[in-house]
Structure 1
Amino acid sequence: MLQSIRDSSQSIVAKVIVGLIIVTFALFGVESLVSLTAESNAPATVNGEEITQQELYQATELQRRQLLSQMGENADPALLDDSLVSSMVLDSLIEQKSLLLAAEDKNMLISERMIDQMIINTPDFQVEGQFNRDRFEATLRNAGFTPLSYRNLLKKERLIEQERNAYQLSAFVIPAELKRIITLDRQTRDISYFIFPLDDVEKNLTVSDEEINAKYEAERTSLMTEEQVAIEYILLNKNDLRDNVVVSEEELKAQYDQFRVSFQAEDQRHVAHILVEITPDQDDAAALAKVVALQARIKAGEEFSIVASTDSDDIGSSAAGGDLGTNGKGVFADAFEQAMYSLDVNQVSEPVRTEFGYHLIKVMGITKAETPSFAEIKQDLTDDILTRKVENIYVERLELMADITFSSGDLIEPSEVMNLPVMTSKPFGRSGGDLDITQNAKVIGAAFSSDLIQDKLNSSVIELDRERTVVVRVKAYSEPREQTLAEVADELKQQLIKDQASEVLALKAQEAVDQINAGEAVDQVAQGQLVVNLEAVSRASGELPIEVRSVAFALANPDSLKSVVSSAELPDGSVAVVLLKKVNMTEVQLTDEETQSMGAFLGSRIGQQEYQSLVAELKNAAEIEKK
């Protein structure tokens, strides 16, 4: 058979096919060959244009990485619902495709040269400030892109950005409109309000058993219990291992001997300095000339600290005579540090150039570092040895735990072998239980998996944190079920009372509004409730409920003889009766700079709104098919 293949490969037809493949590779890359052989399995089309499976995959992976990075260092990928992420990404790609087609219809273009410049100027693709091809390709591979697919992505993003900027940067407000908006924003209002509490109404209401039964029959199909599990688990805690670990005197002394060999005594220097900065008004030559003049003054006998306090540009140290305190290596710039360690006590350096300017450095004192005694660091050595031993034991126990729980049909044998008690939780749902273990997302995910519920398996080892690892097993599982009347009677009763109270309050508030409009006194209509009177309330005022403020600023300007009245429902079900007594207008005087700044801001907001309207219009007009 091999000989047959070999013979066939020498034929003219085979050579033509190979030649076509080579040409395809050279012109379009490997991706094109794949696309030639693959059937169209586009998950969606927009106006006949396909969104490919590859596009969806790449965009979904990118979204997953972004979500995981936002979740933090210990993010668990299992917490992400892949189907939900994919669905959201597909909707985003549909919107993107609609915008791209609209941009192309308007003949918007992004040149290849612009794409080149964007790639070259991207910091992630640079090494020491220069574009690096290897870094570019490695970064793309990590993100799941090829150079070609990444260029296409950039082109799409910039085309969409081009159209978005056209809307946002071209929108504007005329001066009269700007003044009107700012006047409305700075407007204040004089209001009064009082509240009819829900509790006062509820305590006087009752519901019958018949009403509760009727509500139960109407809603029983929706009154389901939560899916729940109760788990049993064994917990390995690293901190529990410390009590049984002993550190001998011989180990401590051996560790100390190693420490002495590796210890490098480092002198520390107490230094002061004078800085002459290089600025746009003082170039390098001028700064150098100034620092040389200061050096001459010091050599002539002036005190270093006095010169530093009067002429140093380092405002942080000049008040202290240039004193920088006692420091070791690795604190200052290399040139500064080299000069500092080359000086004797009370010796002043020659001018030293750093990125900040020119320095004169004086060593005030030298502290000789000595090797700490055994007694001084005995506790630190003990802690280091103990931590290392415990870590080794923990890793060994972890491996044993993984092996034995994997092969066991329950947690009894692992518990006995490892001398760990089997603990049991109360039933909990997918939102978690009352223990930190049953609130852990990894534990919840494992507990509700089919492996544990249906196959009755032990979980794999689950790391709760750096000190604790657990293996769980489902002890009991409860499917959602319809709750009985007895279980939900109290809840239904409270809901009926609240519904009735809301109806009573709505009527009561409307009656109060009608009475005030008819001319009755507010204090009398309030029926003993506190009437709050506020003047010059702004739109951002926090001294009254948000709902009351919103209603007050939605009411029409009252005439001079009569207030405008309405009501507002509060979050707890209570109802407020709101009276708008006066609208206070403020004359707005803006500087040219304020006018320009506010105009740009409001114009940008208008542009954003117009662009969002365009996006919605394009999506509604597009022919979209999802598979």
Structure 2
Amino acid sequence: MLQNMREKLSGPVSIAVLGLIAVAFIFWGIDFGFFNRDFVAKVNGEEIPNSRFSAAYQNQLGELQRYYRDELTPELRSEVRQNTLDGFIRNTVLEQRSRDDGYRVSDTALTEYIRSLPAFQVGGQFSMDAYKATLASNSYSPTRFEEEQRRALAQEQLRQGIISSGFTTTAETRRFVELLEEQRDVAYAIVPADGFRDQVEVSEEEVTAYYDENKDRFMTAESVTLQYVEVNADEVAAAVEVTEDDLLAYYETVKARYSTPERRRPRHILIEFGDDESAAEQRASEIAARAQSGEDFAELAQEYSEDPATSDLGGDLDWLERGVFEGPLEDAIFEMQEGEIRGPVRSDFGFHVLRLDQIEESTGRSFADAREELETEYRTLQSEAAYYERAETLAEKSFESPDELDTVAAALGTAVKQIEGFTRAGGGELAAFPTVAEAAFSTPVLEDNENSPLVELSERRAVVLRVADHRLPEQRSIDEVRAEIESSLALSLARERASEAGQTLLAQVRDGGVFADLAAAAGADYQESRAVGRRDSALPAELLAEIFRAAKPGTAPTVAGIELASGDYAIFEISAVRPGDPEGGPRERRLQERDALAQMSGDGSFAAYVTELRRKASVQVFEIEDEQL
């Protein structure tokens, strides 16, 4: 019982659930909501709203823009769109199944989870004001947000139930360890491409031919002159005034956070309902009478309690605050006196016989003691409230004056800023924010000359922007790109030379030559033979992978080569292979490896389960053009 309760209250929230929450509660995203249909798909009759899909899709594009600094290709956009939709469909079928199977999340568990989210904390503590303000600024009601989180956590219960069923046999674990910790004695040499750069010459004819054949690669980037109006919480914070009366009033509203709640340490003996609830209650009454007559409570718990998590501990439930249990069980624990024995008390788990061992009274901090923290919190909240108000004004004024920003800036008492030469990869002080590029090059802003919607750069910074000038790509002259072409061709030729030299060295070693001597003669960087593991960080990752893909040596060493992404050529010689020792090493590490393999088994089971749910589901997908997103 206690084990299940604790898992619900504090079990790990997986990446899958975080991903679902990110879809359900997106703080950064642009709503380009010009849609012909309110939903993008139906899953077993349940609609996936177009607005949620669009926000998630734009958010994913923004993340990719951080890595693809150039324009995202149509193919990549299509892949992102499909992956986003697939994610929604998977989450929907899982949510439906968790609902049908009766998975539920208690109010207590939901509250504890929400209180743990950093977005709603000030100074490391949950703030109801921050909670309400953050939800309001993102057009979320507490009811809607809490229901979405409840569904996500219920889905996580389903996932954990399947994953926890994963297991591994002893033979599988041994084989896993043998492979994971396998070591290979390897000598290797790298022929560097840079060593041939000075040996190659690029002619004018080669430069001209390359330019003529690749003119589309030598275009200027499409760019715009970007105008924008910004609101920033840090600038607002400097203007916040705080009086002593303000702090005293705030202290009264949050006083509970500056006190330690009463804690109690009970023991219990659980008798589950079984097939005969009356008999279970009678048995609990008899045990309670024995405890009240003086028998050792801990010994009775060890003998009779049906809670496996606490019976061996003499029924000890550890220190508890209000809110862990519900109903009569919690009421009884917090009504009892130290040393009192009470029971039977009914709960959803069965009948409890209780003994209260200790009480730790509530303690609190005075206003004077907490004043510095209070002022920091209060200033933060006030500046955030002022920021949200200014952000709302920015959005409203921009909507009212959709074709200029001067009026918008005047309403906020600020100035219109400008960035020239802003490309799809960004530019200027907004270069680090891919959502800005998405907005700037969207159809309404770029082609219709409208102001953008509010673009949130962070939780404390937002802009509205427009395009003042648009420059299409232009052909760069051969003189502008000559050095770039010469460098590219020289590198290509150097790579070819390195590959030729590397393959020659490879053939010589395979013919029986002394590896070290041949490598030195070829100008290669030679490394003497040593034991190499799968996680050896000293070797290039692609070389390490090739070493462990290579066949084991027989009567002669295994010799092979690989052209690296850098253009270098690597040759390696494997002289011996030793499997990992399943019996060696610390026992704790062996248990971790066993658990890792079981986790992999569970993950595989869950993936197969989701695939089957998706296969059986009735799914209708409605095509939406990229421009509509």
TM-score range, shorter chain: 0.5 to 0.7
User: Is the alpha carbon distance of 1:334 and 1:267 closer, same or farther for their aligned partners in structure 2, counting shifts above 3 Å?
Assistant: farther
Maintained 8 Å contact 1:273/1:359: no
Displacement, 1:399?
4.9
Displacement, 1:192?
3.7
Larger Rg: 1
Query: What amino acid maps onto 2:562 in structure 1?
Result: A
- The Cα offsets for residues 560-598 of structure 1, whole Å up to 9 and x where unpaired, read as 4x5564421112111122345568899x9xxxxx9xx99
Maintained 8 Å contact 2:559/2:571: yes
* Counterpart Cα distance in 1 of 2:214 and 2:61: 39
Aligned to 1:124: 99
User: Is the alpha carbon distance of 1:367 and 1:540 closer, same or farther for their aligned partners in structure 2, counting shifts above 3 Å?
Assistant: closer
Aligned to 1:474: 467
* Counterpart Cα distance in 2 of 1:547 and 1:374: 61
Q: Is 1:458–2:433 an aligned residue pair?
A: no
Maintained 8 Å contact 2:237/2:383: yes
User: Is the alpha carbon distance of 1:549 and 1:292 closer, same or farther for their aligned partners in structure 2, counting shifts above 3 Å?
Assistant: same
Following superposition of structure 1 onto structure 2, how do residues 108-257 of structure 1 map, counting pairs within 5 Å?
A: 122-124=97-99, 191-248=186-243
- State TM-score, norm by structure 2: 0.56
Aligned residue for 2:214, secondary structure, equals helix
Query: What amino acid maps onto 1:496 in structure 2?
Result: L
Maintained 8 Å contact 2:341/2:353: no
Aligned to 1:620: none
* Counterpart Cα distance in 2 of 1:540 and 1:384: 45
Maintained 8 Å contact 1:196/1:505: yes
* Counterpart Cα distance in 1 of 2:507 and 2:81: 51
Displacement, 1:234?
1.4
User: Is the alpha carbon distance of 1:574 and 1:422 closer, same or farther for their aligned partners in structure 2, counting shifts above 3 Å?
Assistant: same
Query: What amino acid maps onto 2:231 in structure 1?
Result: L
- The Cα offsets for residues 213-261 of structure 1, whole Å up to 9 and x where unpaired, read as 33223322332222122312111123433433435556666777x859x
Maintained 8 Å contact 1:288/1:358: no
* Counterpart Cα distance in 2 of 1:394 and 1:473: 21
Aligned to 1:273: 266
Aligned to 1:412: 406
Query: What amino acid maps onto 1:199 in structure 2?
Result: D
RMSD: 6.0
Q: Is 1:342–2:335 an aligned residue pair?
A: yes
User: Is the alpha carbon distance of 1:526 and 1:71 closer, same or farther for their aligned partners in structure 2, counting shifts above 3 Å?
Assistant: same
2:499 maps to which of 501, 506, 518? 506
* Counterpart Cα distance in 1 of 2:353 and 2:373: 40
Aligned to 2:325: 332
User: Is the alpha carbon distance of 1:453 and 1:353 closer, same or farther for their aligned partners in structure 2, counting shifts above 3 Å?
Assistant: closer
Instruction: Tell me whether 374-383 or 347-356 shows the greater mean CA deviation.
Output: 374-383
Following superposition of structure 1 onto structure 2, how do residues 539-554 of structure 1 map, counting pairs within 5 Å?
A: 544-545=539-540, 547-548=542-543
Q: Is 1:361–2:355 an aligned residue pair?
A: yes
Maintained 8 Å contact 1:267/1:328: no
- The Cα offsets for residues 286-324 of structure 1, whole Å up to 9 and x where unpaired, read as 89758845763564386x689879998676697699473
Displacement, 1:196?
0.9
Maintained 8 Å contact 1:291/1:358: no
Q: Is 1:571–2:565 an aligned residue pair?
A: yes
- State TM-score, norm by structure 1: 0.56
Aligned to 1:433: 427
Maintained 8 Å contact 2:384/2:460: no
Query: What amino acid maps onto 1:407 in structure 2?
Result: S
Following superposition of structure 1 onto structure 2, how do residues 558-597 of structure 1 map, counting pairs within 5 Å?
A: 560=555, 563=557, 565-579=559-573
Aligned residue for 2:342, secondary structure, equals coil
Q: Is 1:424–2:418 an aligned residue pair?
A: yes
Query: What amino acid maps onto 1:511 in structure 2?
Result: T
Query: What amino acid maps onto 1:458 in structure 2?
Result: N
Maintained 8 Å contact 1:202/1:501: yes
User: Is the alpha carbon distance of 1:497 and 1:331 closer, same or farther for their aligned partners in structure 2, counting shifts above 3 Å?
Assistant: same
Question: Unaligned 5+ residue runs, structure 2?
Answer: 1-36, 66-71, 87-92, 105-174, 583-593, 616-629
Aligned length: 464
Aligned to 2:122: none
* Counterpart Cα distance in 2 of 1:54 and 1:389: 37
User: Is the alpha carbon distance of 1:54 and 1:232 closer, same or farther for their aligned partners in structure 2, counting shifts above 3 Å?
Assistant: closer
Matched-pair identity in %: 23
Query: What amino acid maps onto 1:575 in structure 2?
Result: Y
User: Is the alpha carbon distance of 1:57 and 1:547 closer, same or farther for their aligned partners in structure 2, counting shifts above 3 Å?
Assistant: closer
* Counterpart Cα distance in 2 of 1:268 and 1:88: 49
Aligned residue for 2:421, secondary structure, equals coil
User: Is the alpha carbon distance of 1:450 and 1:255 closer, same or farther for their aligned partners in structure 2, counting shifts above 3 Å?
Assistant: closer
Q: Is 1:449–2:465 an aligned residue pair?
A: no
* Counterpart Cα distance in 2 of 1:181 and 1:390: 55
* Counterpart Cα distance in 2 of 1:273 and 1:387: 40
* Counterpart Cα distance in 1 of 2:351 and 2:513: 79
Aligned to 1:176: none
- The Cα offsets for residues 99-142 of structure 1, whole Å up to 9 and x where unpaired, read as xxxxxxxxxxxxxxxxxxx99x944358899xxxxxxxxxxxxx
Maintained 8 Å contact 2:269/2:352: yes
- The Cα offsets for residues 417-436 of structure 1, whole Å up to 9 and x where unpaired, read as 4221332335332233354x
Query: What amino acid maps onto 1:448 in structure 2?
Result: F
Following superposition of structure 1 onto structure 2, how do residues 388-407 of structure 1 map, counting pairs within 5 Å?
A: 393-394=386-387, 396-405=389-398, 406-407=400-401
Maintained 8 Å contact 1:462/1:471: yes
Aligned residue for 2:496, secondary structure, equals helix
Maintained 8 Å contact 2:226/2:418: yes
* Counterpart Cα distance in 1 of 2:539 and 2:258: 66
User: Is the alpha carbon distance of 1:347 and 1:198 closer, same or farther for their aligned partners in structure 2, counting shifts above 3 Å?
Assistant: same
* Counterpart Cα distance in 1 of 2:232 and 2:52: 33
* Counterpart Cα distance in 2 of 1:305 and 1:182: 42
